[in-house]
């Protein structure tokens, strides 16, 4: 490439960044639209949905307000909120039941990955299962809550 003949003639020699590289939609993921969840993925098989996020006291210090005997736990109402939000995205805005199985302990340092999984619709009324699970680091997934979502009156099944 020849040098410019005029001192203020500008030409960029660096390659342009690829459009869409490194963002959620280019990876087939959408924003979850929730304070505790970062992303949502519609599953390729069936009509299920997975929402994911990372909870940490450093990023969300207000979570430390719910401590039991010095141990910070995710409040039960947060599980309800996660399940209802996932149900809204999946077209099932009614949480019929939610059973808490294990407390979600938030570590003092670091954080936990959290996933909310909405199962396929049952076809007979449009009900779906919902689960909330987490893991710390590369550890085993722990299921914290399981429930049942249903379409609200007037929603298509």
Neighbours of 27 (CB within 10 A): 12
What Å distances lie between residue 60 and 74, 87, 92, 111, CA to CA? 11, 24, 28, 10
Ordered structural domains, the chain, with CATH: 30-150 (3.10.129.110)
Q: What is the pLDDT of residues 33-50, one digit of tens each?
A: 999 999 999 998 888 999
Q: What is the pLDDT of residues 41-84, one digit of tens each?
A: 999 888 899 999 999 999 999 999 999 999 999 999 999 999 99
Spatial separation of the C-alpha atoms in residues 22 and 11, rounded to whole Å: 26
Q: What is the pLDDT of residues 125-156, one digit of tens each?
A: 789 999 999 999 999 999 999 999 999 875 55
Q: What is the pLDDT of residues 85-118, one digit of tens each?
A: 999 999 998 999 999 999 999 999 999 999 999 9
């Amino acid at each position: 490439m020849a040098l410019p003949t005029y001192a203020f003639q500008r030409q960029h020699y660096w390659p342009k960044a690829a459009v869409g590289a490194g963002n959620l939609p280019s990876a087939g993921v959408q924003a979850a639209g929730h304070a505790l969840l970062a992303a949502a993925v519609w599953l390729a098989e069936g009509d299920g949905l997975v929402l994911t996020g990372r909870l940490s006291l450093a990023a969300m210090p207000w979570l430390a307000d719910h401590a039991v005997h010095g141990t910070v736990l995710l409040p039960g109402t947060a599980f309800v909120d996660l399940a209802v939000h996932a149900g809204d995205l999946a077209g099932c805005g009614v949480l019929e039941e939610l059973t808490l199985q294990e407390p979600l302990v938030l570590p003092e340092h670091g954080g936990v990955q959290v996933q909310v999984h909405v199962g396929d619709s049952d076809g007979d009324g449009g009900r779906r299962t919902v689960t909330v699970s987490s893991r710390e680091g590369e550890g085993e997934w722990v299921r914290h809550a399981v429930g049942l979502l249903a379409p609200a009156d007037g929603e298509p099944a």
